Structure 1
C-alpha cells in the first residue's frame, strides 16, 4: 500500500493535469486539504513537497501554493511505481492513446516465462506484442505474456484498447503489486521497424511482473521505448 502522502499527491497531480487546478492559480490552502483528505498537516506538506520536486507547484510561506505544472524534464515521465497501465496514465493527461496489435497468439511458455509467471511448461500463455501510439506518434512497444486461464476471452478488440480495464472490469481481478526493473538495451528489429530506432540507438526497457491480490503473477512484460521519448521518475521525501 502506498503512503497516504503519495496517494494525496497522485490525486492533486491528476487534478492539475485535468485542469481542475489551473496553471497560475493557487491550490486550496493546507487547512482545506487537511479537512478534505482527513490527513495531518505533515502528510499534506509531504504531498506538496513531491509535487514541488516535479515542478508542478511552488509553495512559499504566507503566499500559498501556486500551480506551475511545468515538468523539469524534457521528455514524458511516468512515476516509477505506477503499474495501473498506460491507458489510465494517458487518460489522466487527456492524451489519445491507441494500439496496433503486432502479435497475438497462444503458446507454451519458455523457461524464462515459466519462472516469471510461476507456471508449468504445459500451461498455455498469451504472447502479445503491441505498438502503443500516443497522439498519432509511435510511443512504445509492449511484449507481454499472460496465463490463458487467468484471462479468458481475450480478443483483438480488447488489445486495441486497455487489457487492464478488461481484467479489472470484466473479470473482476484485483492487482496486489508489481516488481519492476528498468535498464538500457540495444534496439532490436521491432524497435527499428516500429519506433524508427537506428541500429546503434539505445532503448529504455521496463521489465515487470504484475501480481494479483492472492500473489499469483498475472503478467510478465517488457516495455521498450526510444531513449529520447520517455523516462521514469521517482520522488522521495523524508519520512
Structure 2
C-alpha cells in the first residue's frame, strides 16, 4: 500500500503542476503540510517529491523547499530516432505539419558534402513547419538521396515520411549521427516559425543511415528556444 500511496501523491501533485495550480517558480507546500494534507508519513511524501525531482518537475532547495520548474517545454529525445508524428503522439497535444516545399533538386556544394552525393545525383528537398497547439515551433529541412527514396508526395510529407519509408518501401532506418548547436535565426526561420521575439533557435543536425550504413538523409531541425528541452539517458561505465 505504501508504494501505491506515494505514487498516488506523486500523480496528484503532478496533475496540479500540469494544470497550473502550482505554477513555475512557485513553492510547493512544506513536507509537514503535505503530511497533514495527505494523511501519510514523511517518508512517503519524500518519495513522491523525489520522484517529481527526478522527472524534472521540481527542484528541491535546502532551506527553501521544493520549487516548481518550467514544464511548458516538450521533451525531445537526443539519443533516439523519432519522427514528428511519433513525438506528437507522445506529447498528446494538437499538432499538424505544414509543407512548404517538396521538390527534387540538384545538390549544392554544401549538400554534396552533407549527403555524400555528386552533381549527377538528385535530392528530395522537404521544408516543413511543425505546429503544436497552434504555434509553429519547429522548422524541419530534410534532404533525401533519391537513390534510396525514389518518390515523395506532399501528402506523405504532411503525414510521416518515416512511416512511408518503413511501411510502404520497406526501408530499414538504422542509426544517426547528431550535432546540436544554438544558431541565430535566419530569414527562413522568421518566415516559417512563430518566433515570439526569440533571436536564436536550437538546431539539431541529423545524418541518418540505413542498416547497411548508407547515408540517405540529412536534416536540419530548428527548434524555438523556449519550447523544448533535449533529454538523454547516460550511465557511467565503471572501469
TM range (shorter): 0.5 to 0.7
Hey, what's the Cα distance between the residues in 2 that align with 1:91 and 1:75?
Answer: 15
On the 8 A contact 1:186/1:200 being kept in 2, the answer is: no
- TM-score, structure 1 as length reference: 0.68
Secondary structure (helix, strand or coil) at the match of 2:159 reads coil
Q: Which runs of 4+ in 1 moved over 4 A?
A: 49-52, 70-74
Equivalence for 1:185: 183
Partner residue of 2:20? none
Matches within 5 A, 1:1-239: 23=11, 53-55=54-56, 74-197=72-195, 201-239=199-237
Q: Aligned partners of 2:84, 2:160: CA distance in 1, in Å?
A: 8
Q: Shift of the alpha carbon at 1:145? A: 0.7
Deviation at 1:108, TM superposition (A): 1.1
* Deviations 1:151-193 (CA, angstroms, capped at 9, x unpaired): 1221011011111100111011111100000001111112112
Residue ranges of structure 1 left out of the alignment (5+ in a row) = 1-21, 26-48, 57-69
What are the superposed Cα offsets for residues 16-43 of structure 1, whole Å, 9 maximum, x if unpaired? xxxxxx9359xxxxxxxxxxxxxxxxxx
User: Structure 2: how far apart are the matches of 1:89 and 1:119?
Assistant: 30
Cα distance in 2 for partners of 1:119, 1:144 equals 15
| 2:86 aligned counterpart, secondary structure | helix
Q: Conserved in 2, the CA contact under 8 Å of 1:208 and 1:221?
A: yes
Alpha carbons 1:53, 1:235 under 8 Å: kept: no
Residue 200 of structure 1 and its aligned partner are, at CA, apart by: 6.7
1:44-97: per-residue Cα shift (whole Å, max 9, x none)? Answer: xxxxx99973348xxxxxxxxxxxxx9875522211112121211221232333
Q: 1: distance between equivalents of 2:102 and 2:236?
A: 45
CA RMSD of aligned residues (A): 2.8
Residue 138 and residue 152 in structure 1: after superposition, are their counterparts in 2 closer, same or farther (change >3 A)?
Answer: same
Structure 2: give runs of 5+ residues left out of the alignment: 1-9, 14-49, 58-67
1:54–1:72 Cα contact (<8 Å) kept = no
**Cα separation, 1, equivalents of 2:198 and 2:91:** 32
**Cross-structure match for 1:66:** none
Normalised to the residue count of structure 2, the TM-score between the two structures is 0.68
Q: In the aligned structure 1, how far is the partner of 2:210 from the partner of 2:52?
A: 29
Aligned length: 183
